Structures are given as structure tokens and as C-alpha cells.
Amino acid sequence: MFEQEIRRKAKELLEVKAVDLVIGYTSGSLPFQARPTLVSSPEDTEQLVWNHFCSPNLARYLLPYRDSSKKIALLAKGCDARAVVVLLREEQFPRERIHIIGLPCPGIISKRKLEEKLGEIKEEDFSWEESGFLCQGKKWEIDSFLEDTCVRCRYPNPPLWDDLIGEKRESRGSSVDYLERISSQSEEERWQFFTQELSRCIRCYACRNACPLCYCKECFAESDVPRWISGVPTLSDNSFFHLGRSIHLAGRCVECGACERACPEEIKIGLLPLKVEEIIKNSFSFEAGLSLEEEAPLLTYKENDPGEFIK
């Protein structure tokens, strides 16, 4: 899957010193995993990989370099590139310092779903093909193993890139996604569902730390003055944290699902920001991370905005 081209491109950029650093993926310490890696010398580019398990959103790894002067290249799937667009839009980086190697994304496979359907899995049993894989003597389509956010993904292609490796892909955008499944329930059922989910939260803040757009120096969840919530993971404070986080992401969330994949309790935590994005898309026709010019929806207004809910 274009691994060689990616390595070659990264090597070339580092050799001519067009960039000081390449952020990419390398194989993880466990099978069916890829982890982020930082490559700064041309020899090390051989460790870069690109497969169906490259799930972390690499825009997150740009943030520690915000105040340095390094030029950085990063591999960007559709959602990573959208996150970079939001970061550029919010003036976290000048455009010249970022080199985006765009990768049209085939979708990320969930290891959990593989295990659920195939039982115990070993890396050597798999042989990968373009749109599926062979395992246990059978051919499988990848579609039924995709992460929930990838099933509903409408932008597999990066909206902004300096180099594009691979062919552009059709958007998947399944109409029956997990957000709609929840939305079709009654209000009371939804509350039951969220109480069950959120009471499991241990407030480790892994979701916040995995999010490419949660970059406040001091998070409201940990601020002492004012002290919004306590550190104890009670249901009310967990709800407060996740509601507050999704409001902070309003009009910014790029729907990458990094928060959900980071959750050690496997809580469907991405649903709240996704819902906020849906509200904003329906009412203000805005989607985050698609353009460098468009005004953020909560930093602008129209005189005929919906106002029926106000007396």
C-alpha cells in the first residue's frame, strides 16, 4: 500500500533538508497495531509503515513543536489533514512550517472487531489484499471490520496536501452509522445509555490527550480557579467533562475518532462531539477542517440564525 513511495518521499524530504522531521507510523509492539514515530534522519525512514492499523491522529504530534522553528512533514489521512487545517486556521502554525504528505485513507480496521468475529488472531495467518484480506482460508471484505468513525467517514481524502501518495478514494459515508442508531432511540433510552457509558469513565483524560484539537495549556477539567469539577470520577462530573469537551470542540471536531480509540474503558465517547458537529452542520452548514478561509461557526453569526428556542 504505497509504503515504498512514502519511505522514498520522506527520505527525499529529509535529504534535501526541506524538513527537519517526519511524523509517521511504525509497527507497534503488538501485532495489528501501528504507533506514531518521529524520523529525523534519512536512514531511519525505512521504519515507516502504512497499513490498515495506522490509527493515531498524527496532527496531535505536531503540537509539541508549536513553539520551535522546525519544519515538519507529516503523513496525513483525511482526518489528520482536516485536523491540520483546523490548527492552521487557528494560527497554531504558519503554513510554511508544515509539509503535508497526503494519504487517501482506505479505512482503519478495529482490532477489537477482528477479535470479535475471528476469535484468536495471529499476524502470520493474514494475507492482505487491496480491498480485503485472506484469513482462515476465507476472503474477507474490510468493510465490516472498520472503526465506527471510519464507517461514517465522508472525507477519506485530505482536503489539503503538499504531496499526495496514492489514488483518491470514494467517500464511504454509510448512511446507517452508530450516531444515527443512538439518535433513533427515545430521550429516556438515550439518557440510560449515556449514564451507563459515562459512569464507567475513570477520567484518565486519554481522550483529551489523543485529540489533535484539545491543546489548551490548562484544561477546564483540571483548573483550580475556577474549579469547575472535582477530580473524582462521579457520574455528574464525568458528564460535565464530556459535555464541556464537546462544547469546546464545537465547529472544530474533525470526526477522527481518536478519542474513542484511546479510551481504555471503550466508552463511545466520540458520540458527543459527533452530535455537536451534526447540529452545526445542519443549522450553520459548516464542516470543520475543509477550508482555510471559512469562518469558524461559533466565531461568526447571521441575523437569521435559529432563535425559536429563545422567549
Closest contact distance (angstroms) between CB of 182 and another protein is: 9
The C-alpha atoms of residue 91 and residue 205 are separated, in whole angstroms, by 25
The yes or no reply on residue 144 touching another protein (CB under 8 A) is no
> What is the largest distance, in Å, between two alpha-carbon atoms of the chain?
65
In a 10 Å sphere around its CB, with 0-12 CB exposed, 13-18 middle and 19+ buried, how is residue 169 labelled? middle
The yes or no reply on residue 284 touching another protein (CB under 8 A) is yes
The C-alpha atoms of residue 79 and residue 156 are separated, in whole angstroms, by 7
Closest contact distance (angstroms) between CB of 215 and another protein is: 18
The yes or no reply on residue 225 touching another protein (CB under 8 A) is no
The yes or no reply on residue 184 touching another protein (CB under 8 A) is no
Interstrand relation of 98-102 and 127-128 (parallel, antiparallel or unpaired): unpaired
Closest C-alpha among 95, 216, 106, 228 to residue 168 = 106
The yes or no reply on residue 285 touching another protein (CB under 8 A) is no
Q: Cβ closer to another protein: 43 or 188?
A: 188
Candidates 18-26, 111-119, 139-147, 241-249; binding stretch for another protein (CB under 8 A): 241-249
Q: Which of 136, 184, 196, 283 binds another protein (CB under 8 A)?
A: 283
Q: Which of 18, 176, 279, 292 binds another protein (CB under 8 A)?
A: 279
In a 10 Å sphere around its CB, with 0-12 CB exposed, 13-18 middle and 19+ buried, how is residue 148 labelled? buried
Residues facing 32 on adjacent strands: none
The C-alpha atoms of residue 48 and residue 50 are separated, in whole angstroms, by 7
The yes or no reply on residue 196 touching another protein (CB under 8 A) is no
Catalogue the E-assigned strands of 213-282: none
The yes or no reply on residue 177 touching another protein (CB under 8 A) is no
Closest contact distance (angstroms) between CB of 39 and another protein is: 40
Q: Cβ closer to another protein: 161 or 205?
A: 205
Q: Are 172 and 79 in contact (CB under 8 A)?
A: no
The yes or no reply on residue 188 touching another protein (CB under 8 A) is yes
Q: Which of 63, 135, 164, 250 binds another protein (CB under 8 A)?
A: 250
Candidates 32-40, 58-66, 71-79, 182-190; binding stretch for another protein (CB under 8 A): 182-190
Edge-first strand listing for the sheet containing 34-39? 34-39, 21-27, 72-76, 98-102, 163-164
Q: At what angle do helices 235-248 and 271-284 cross, to 10 degrees?
A: 40
The yes or no reply on residue 311 touching another protein (CB under 8 A) is yes
Q: Which of 58, 85, 229, 254 binds another protein (CB under 8 A)?
A: 229
The yes or no reply on residue 187 touching another protein (CB under 8 A) is yes
Chain residues that interact with another protein, rule: CB under 8 A: 183, 187-192, 194, 220, 226, 228-232, 234-237, 239-240, 243-244, 246-247, 250, 272, 275-276, 279-280, 283-284, 297-299, 301-303, 305-307, 309-311
